[in-house]
Amino acid sequence: MEENNINIEEIMADIKREIKEKGLTGDMLSFEDVPYKKTPQAGGSVREALDFLNSNYNVQPYKELKGNPLKTSFKKVIRKLMKFYIEPTVNDQNNVNSSIVTVLNGLAENSPEKAISKAETLELAQKELLIRIEKLEKENEELRKALGKQENV
């Protein structure tokens, strides 16, 4: 694939050469080390349902009117007539929805499952930091050796 001096194969080969020369290894915590539940979760996607509630709890009293102009004008008149009843009811409902969503978020945030999950994540993060420390110590040792050689020269 070559066009306007761009050759993808060459670019890929250059990148691979550079990674080899610099000794970049991409050492990190393995995905296999991350624990997970092996049994199917009951109750479907609770988290996704909560996400949905968070973004949709505020209900709009009216939908956009489209289509036949005659029908639209008729609907507008009905809306005006019903406004005194619809709007306060929807506002009350939105206040209730908002409180429910706040409570549900609080419960989800403080659930025992979440606490266990947080502890597991911290353990994994510690593991990952140990990998990084080991890598840095190796680099440090190599740099010290190189510095020592220079001083001897």
Partner 1 sequence: MRIVQLLPTLSFGDAIGNDTIALSGALKDMGFKSEIYAENIDKRLPRGIASHTDKLKGLKSSDILIYHKSTGTDLTFKIEQYKCRRIMVYHNITPPEFFRPYSTEAAKLTEYGYKGVEYLRDKVEYVLADSAYNKNELLKMGYTCPIDVRPILIRFEDYKQTPDEAVMKKFSDGRTNLLFVGRIAPNKKQENLIRAFFCYKKREPQARLILCGSYAGMENYYERLVKYAAALGIGDDVIFTGHIRFPEILAYYRTASAFVCMSEHEGFCVPLAEAMFFDVPIIAYDAAAISDTLGGCGILLDDNSPEFVSAVIDRTVHDEKLREYLIKGQRERLADFSYERIKDIFEKQIRSFTEKSK
Give contact residues for partner 1 (rule: CB under 8 A). 1, 3-6, 8, 11-12, 15-16, 18-19, 24-26, 28-29, 31, 34-38, 40-41, 44-45, 47-48, 51-52, 117, 120-121, 124-125, 127-128
Pick between residue 109 and residue 151 the one whose CB is nearest to partner 1.
109
Which of the 8 DSSP states describes residue 3?
E
Phi/psi of residue 112, each to 5°? -60, -35
User: Nearest distance from residue 42's CB to partner 1, in Å?
Assistant: 10
Calpha distance 84→10 (Å, rounded): 71
CB of 120 to partner 1, least distance (A): 6
* Among 113, 116, 124, residue whose Cα is nearest residue 41: 113
Query: Do 124 and 33 meet the contact criterion of CB atoms below 8 Å apart?
Result: yes
Q: Between 29 and 101, name the residue whose CB sits nearer to partner 1.
A: 29
